[in-house]
């Protein structure tokens, strides 16, 4: 249930985006059918925009969790990474980043 939570959050963001845009368009069409043209068009545009922005925030949160898992795996040498290629050899030393300047 709690495995690969970052992937699940990112998938939920895609579903939220599609559902929000779809429902905004359907409600906008219903308003257009009732001859509320301006309100229907505004509902389609702004409803879709709000659904997209909300899904971006949710997707970004999922990406943040995925990146923090990768960083934790690299720092601690634990198997916390979401990607197998990100595994770090605990016996490998970190590269020296001192350029001779203080």
Q: Where residue 94 falls among pLDDT bands split at 50, 70, 90? A: low
How far is residue 43 CA from its own chain's centroid? 25
pLDDT of residue 21: 97
Look at residue 4 and tell me whether its pLDDT is greater than 80. yes
Structure confidence by residue, pLDDT tens digits, 36-91: 999 999 999 999 999 999 999 999 999 999 999 999 988 886 555 555 555 555 56
40/48 Cα distance (integer angstroms): 12
- 21-25, 26-30, 90-94: which has the minimum mean pLDDT? 90-94
Kindly give, in sequence order, each residue whose CB lies less than 8 Å from that of residue 11, ignoring residues fewer than 6 positions away: none
């Amino acid at each position: 249930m709690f495995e690969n939570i970052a992937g699940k959050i990112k998938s939920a963001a895609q579903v939220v985006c599609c559902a929000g845009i779809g429902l905004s368009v359907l409600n906008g069409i219903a308003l257009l059918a009732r001859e509320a043209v301006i309100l229907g068009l505004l509902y389609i545009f702004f409803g879709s925009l709000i659904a997209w922005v909300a899904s971006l925030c949710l997707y970004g949160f999922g990406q943040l969790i995925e990146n923090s898992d990768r960083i934790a795996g690299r720092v601690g040498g634990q198997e916390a990474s979401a990607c197998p290629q990100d595994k770090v050899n605990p016996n490998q030393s970190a590269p020296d980043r001192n350029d001779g300047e203080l």
